[in-house]
Amino acid sequence: MNRGEFLTRITIWIALGGYALSVAITLLGRESRMRKRDFLVWQARARWIWTIGCAALFAHTICALHFYHAWSQVSAYRETARQTAEVTGLDWGGGLLINYAFLAAWIADVFWWWRGLEAYRRRHRLITAFWHGFFIFMIFNATVVFETGLVRAIGAGLCLLLLALWLWSFRNGRLAASR
């Protein structure tokens, strides 16, 4: 594995880990279980991990464009179309634009959280459900649909774990006040 491939791969795993760990801290470290001060400390940690995960996704995008496509959007689009056709039979590179939209949405979410914890925590539960559903959809596609072998197994396990955690949170009434 060369340096470019290593950097591209490690940054996406840091992003995935940042997402999963931040969600776990947020959903399992509820205010009702601990003192207010401890809760705020854990929320601050979750926010930092969330931010690091987002930064890692940004770095992953930069690495992929630099090391795999020589900064060519045409190359990135064509490669996305090729991979999509290989897996689905549909020769379409629009997944690249979906990835860019996802990155932009995560960056906006980070800014929203840093702007105000209370407003962020109290956003409508449908926004939270849609956002994290989209996150899991992206993770599933990236790791299960478009990968093979060990990466596919790890991705499937991660998606199942995240879905179980979100279901548990929803069933216990924790989704409304969580990210």
Q: What is the per-residue pLDDT across 75-100, written as a single tens digit (0 to 9) for each?
A: 999 999 999 999 999 999 999 999 99
Taking each helix axis from N to C end, the angle separating 3-28 and 125-140, rounded to the nearest 10 degrees, works out to 150
Q: What is the per-residue pLDDT across 130-179, written as a single tens digit (0 to 9) for each?
A: 999 999 999 999 999 999 999 999 999 999 999 998 888 777 765 544 44
Is residue 92 a part of any domain in this protein? no
Q: Which residues of 31-63 are buried (b: 16+ CB within 10 A; e: fewer)?
A: beeeeeeeeeebbeebbebbbbbbbbbebbbeb
Is residue 18 a part of any domain in this protein? yes
From the list 143, 134, 109, 105, the residue with the least C-alpha distance to 26 is 109
Is residue 25 a part of any domain in this protein? yes
148, amino acid identity: T
Rounded mean pLDDT, 106-113: 95
* Residue 36 or residue 73, greater confidence: 73
* Residue 122 or residue 74, greater confidence: 74
Is residue 49 a part of any domain in this protein? yes
Is residue 82 a part of any domain in this protein? no
Is residue 39 a part of any domain in this protein? yes
Number of structural domains (the chain) is: 1
Q: Please give the model's pTM, rounded to 2 decimal places.
A: 0.89
Domain that holds residue 160: 3-70+106-177
Residues in Cβ contact with 149 at an 8 Å cutoff, skipping those fewer than 6 apart: none
From the list 14, 2, 111, the residue with the least C-alpha distance to 57 is 14
Query: Which one-letter DSSP state was computed for residue 32?
Result: G
